[in-house]
Every structure is written in structure tokens, then in C-alpha cells.
Amino acid sequence: MKILIADRISPIGVDLFKAEEGFEVIEAYGSSPEQILEIVGDVDAIAVRSDTKVNAEVIAAAPKLKVVGRAGVGVDNIDIEAATDRGVIVMNTPTGNTIATAELTFSHMLAGTRPIVQACARMRAGGWDRKKFTGTELNGKTLGVLGLGRIGAEVSKRAMAFQMKVLAYDPYLTESRAKSLGVQQATLDEVIENADYITVHMPLTGDTKHMLNADAFARMKDGVRIFNCARGGIIDEAALVVALESGKVAAAGLDVYEDEPPAEDHPMRGIENLVLTPHLGASTAEAQENVGIDVAKQMIEALKGGRVINALNMPSVDPQVLEKLSPYITLGEKVGTFSQQLAPEGVEKISIRYFGKMVELETLPLTNAIQRGFLREISDNVNNVNAPKKIERLGIECEQITSSAHADFNELIEVVVTSKGGKTRAIGGTLVGKNQLPRIVLIDGHGVEVNTDATLLVLKNKDVPGIVGFIGATLGEDQVNIANMSLSRDQGEGFAVSVFELDSIPSEAAAKKITNHDAIEKYRIIKL
């Protein structure tokens, strides 16, 4: 495998790649975009920091590409959508710079509390203005933390060591985690209206862009202090300038900006009570080494078929869990393939239903396998990364339902596909015997038992004498051998569902003869 290390990472990380048997490492630091396009033609993985752009053009030029690893948190330089379309895993290293960013945040908070930067500048200019640089104390103040992930939690710990009260807003923060961290859960409005200090630790999304805007500043306490070492754009910079100049915001500190670097004449550069640093969050020797080692370990594990962690476009599953799920994943893929080939035209919805003991399993990888199986015959280059996105782009809604009981089976996967006209087809599968062999056991509610390693002829026919003999004779004339069959009769409707396991696919002539039979309503060949 060829590994392109496009930006400088820790030498230890580079050595980890080189130590792997069968890995060829290409170090191409400082390459131009044109040079990168020339190099990636036969690479299996690319490791980057923030300099090299892995855009759609690069991904298209790398047909063997499997993994892109970012030594750091931000992935603005990677086109995740293009990577997902091509089935390329994109991963980052969110833990390596946690402490570095938390400590920088706290440095900004201290510099916004005691005007050290301004006092130092005055001293260098020959001044001695003790009264001008009177500060305040962190002790007893209320810190509002927006986002209580890894970094927000570390900042909170340090704030409490300074005897600060911490209000935390995070849509995903549970009461138990808030209690364990010693912080008080709060709404966004409660943080805005009650905090003396506010620090941002959230990703930049449509919901968080300009979260702290002119309206938010107007509702804050007079003399509030604002800090952002997360992502530029969460704070409306123009509104912050106004709030600083008016005194509404007593001090602020930024390490990230809406445009990096800010323009040389940006008004922020001239505000004395605003401390600016050039995106230094991860700029410690320890953090640089950590993210380089982390990205190498993660990429090696993924390339060798092990656990995929910190992936941004697919779920991470422990290898031990995957081993336990393996027969269920095989079953799910088969049920997905069967359901697609049996489905009516114009599918708009897939309902995946797990029954019985299966609800105790981690079902996300199973859902992924079903989606992958559904796409097997209708889309190229399908894997765990791009299957959900491909389903979505086909305009198909996918839902997952779990139930702890089923009348006929201890565990069952059932896939129901619905067309735009409201027609549905339902396929159910389970594992059979000590060897956990996958079997199709339900077709539209009819009980069958069908091998999943076969070519299948599925019929719905009127329950009249002679159908099985007719099929046998027709296939015999066509030199198609029947390996097995399963028949399910429906006395109420007068129909039967028949499934024949075949050694080969019938000819067009045989298929036409079968479909023209007056008693046969549906005919379908399923290739599993």
C-alpha cells in the first residue's frame, strides 16, 4: 500500500507507517496542488494537516484511495462529501490537541482578566501605568461554556479550580454527565444572560454560525468577557467590534476567525482590549506529536481492516463487536439484496425492522449492511462509507424499527420496501443452527426457508394443481437444475409463494413460458 504524507507530522508517526510490512511511504511536504494530483494516482491513503487540500479533484484522481487522515481536528481542507461518494474514509484526531487548546483558552481568559498583554506593550514603550491596568479576578465569577465536549470539559475543570461557577450549554449534554463534571446545565439564553465570561467550544454549523451576534451581546451582562478558540464564525466579528468599542464587552480573546488570516486593516487589529492569536490552539510540541502519532495509528488500523475510529463519515465499531455481528451482517446484506431485487419499481422507503434478541445487538452496522446489500446490483463502488449517502441520493427514506418480540422467531431481520404507488414487499431473514447459517424465512408474510447462497426463482401463483410440475418440466427442458424448493400456501387468498433454488439462470424463452402461464402472477429471478 502507498501512503502519501502530504504535510509534516510527527516523525514518530512517519516511522509507524514505515514500520508496517507492505507499506510504501511517500513524504511530499510542501507539494503544490498540481504536484499532489500527479502523486495520488496510485496511493491508498493520504495523511494531511491543514495545508494540503484534499478536494474533489484530488479524490477523483486517486482511484485506489481508501483513507484520508487529518492530523488535527478541523477538516475544512477535505471534501468529505466527495470522499463519501467514493467510499473513502475521512478521519481526524480530536483528542491529541485537547489539553493544548484548553490551556490556550484559559490563557486568553487570564489575559482578558488581567491586562497582561497591554501592560507588557506599555512597559516596552517605556511606560509605568499601574492604575491604568487594574484587572479583575476569576474567583467567584460565572463562566458560560458553549459546548461541553472534550475541550469544553477541560476548560470547565480549570475554571472550577479557580473557584468559578460553570454554566454549560450543549444540546447533547446529559444530566448525569453534567453532574459528574460538576457543572450546571443551562440553556443558551441562560448562559448569554447570566455569565460573566463566555467561552466557545462548538463546531461551526448552520445552527452555530453567528450564535453570538448583536442580539446576543445586547442581552449579556455589561462588562462580559468573550473567548473563542474553537471555530471562526461562531462569533459575529462585526458585532463583537461594536460591543467592545461600546464597553458592553469588557475584554475578549480570539484564536480563530471568520477569514484566516484577518485582513491587515481589519478593525479588530486596532482594539486594545481584544487579544488576538494566530490560530495557536494545537501549537504545542506535545499536541503536534500526539496528533501525528494518533493519525498514523488510526490510518494503519483502518487500512489493515481493523477498527475504524474517529471517522467523520462512517460509524466506529469495535473489532470484537464486529466479530460477534459478523453472521448478522452477512444475513443483513443478503436480505437487503433480496429485497431490492424483489421490490416494485420506484422505491421511496425502506423500513428495517429488528425483532427479538437482535435488539440487544448494535444495529447500526446491520443497517449499514442492509443498505449495502440493497445497492449491490444497482450501484458501483458501494461500501460502508457511502451506502447511506447513496440511498439518500436515490430519494429513498430509510427507517429503523426495533421490537423485543416476534411471534415466530427468536430473532429476525425484516426489510419492507414501499414504492411511490404504495405497493410493498417484505423480506425476512434469520440465522439457523449452531453454525448460524443465514436463511430467508419470510416473503410478504409467507413462511419459507431459502438458502442465501443461490440463484432463486420466486413465484406468486394461484394455488392450483400442476404448478410445481409445470415449473419442473419447463426448467428441465431448459437444462436448469432445481437444487431445492420451498412452498408456502395461503388458503385465504388462494395464492401460493414458491421459491426454487437453481443451479443456473433460466433462458429468456423459459422465463417467457413461465410468465405467460395463466396461474402465475409474479415471476422474479433473485441472484444472491
For the chain, residues classed under CATH 3.40.50.720 are: 2-94+287-303, 98-276
For the chain, residues classed under CATH 3.30.1330.90 are: 333-434
- What's the pLDDT at 149? 87
* DSSP code of residue 235: B
Of 279, 489, 517, 524, catalytic: 279
Of 231, 406, 425, 446, catalytic: 231
- Look up residue 82 and give its three cell numbers: 466527495
What CATH fold (topology level) applies to the domain 98-276?
Rossmann fold (3.40.50)
Of 260, 272, 397, 493, catalytic: 260
* DSSP code of residue 187: -
Cell 512597559 belongs to residue: 123
CATH of 2-94+287-303, one of 3.40.50.970, 3.40.50.720, 3.40.190.80, 3.40.50.2300: 3.40.50.720
Q: Cis bond leading into 327, ω under 30°? A: no
Among residues 83, 81, 76, 75, which one has the least CA distance to residue 58? 83
DSSP 424-448: EEEEEEEEETTTTEEEEEEETTEEE
- Look up residue 125 and give its three cell numbers: 514603550
Alpha helices in 47-92 (DSSP H): 56-60, 80-85
- What's the pLDDT at 493? 67
Burial class (CB in 10 A: 0-12, 13-18, 19+), 34: exposed
DSSP strands (E only) in 147-233: 165-169, 184-185, 197-200, 224-228
> Does the annotation mark 279 as catalytic?
yes
* DSSP code of residue 43: -
Give the model confidence (pLDDT) of 370-387 as tens digits: 999 999 888 877 888 888
What Rg value do the Cα atoms of the chain yield, rounded?
31
The residues, any chain, with a CB within 8 Å of residue 61's CB and separated by 6 or more, are: 37, 40, 41
Under a CB-based contact definition with an 8 Å cutoff, are residues 299 and 66 in contact? no
Cα distance between residue 142 and residue 128, in whole Å: 32
* Amino acid in position 287: A
Q: What 3-state class would DSSP assign to 87?
A: coil
Q: What 3-state class would DSSP assign to 520?
A: strand
- What's the pLDDT at 10? 92
Q: Tell me which CATH code domain 333-434 carries.
A: 3.30.1330.90
Query: For the chain, which ranges sit under pLDDT 50?
Result: none
Quote the distance between the C-alpha of residue 211 and its chain's center: 24
Q: Strand pairing partners for 46?
A: 4, 68
Q: Strand pairing partners for 356?
A: 411
Cα distance between residue 308 and residue 318, in whole Å: 8
End-to-end CA, the chain: 31
Cα distance between residue 153 and residue 139, in whole Å: 18
- Look up residue 190 and give its three cell numbers: 441562560
Quote the distance between the C-alpha of residue 186 and its chain's center: 27
* Amino acid in position 213: N
Alpha helices in 80-173 (DSSP H): 80-85, 98-113, 116-124, 150-161
Own/partner pairs, 272-278, CB within 8 angstroms, 24+ separation: 272/118, 273/112, 273/115, 273/118, 273/244, 274/240, 274/244, 275/108, 275/111, 275/112, 275/117, 275/251, 277/104, 277/108, 277/253
Alpha helices in 40-97 (DSSP H): 56-60, 80-85
> Does the annotation mark 260 as catalytic?
yes
- What's the pLDDT at 322? 74
Under a CB-based contact definition with an 8 Å cutoff, are residues 443 and 500 in contact? no
- What's the pLDDT at 226? 98
Cα distance between residue 451 and residue 486, in whole Å: 10
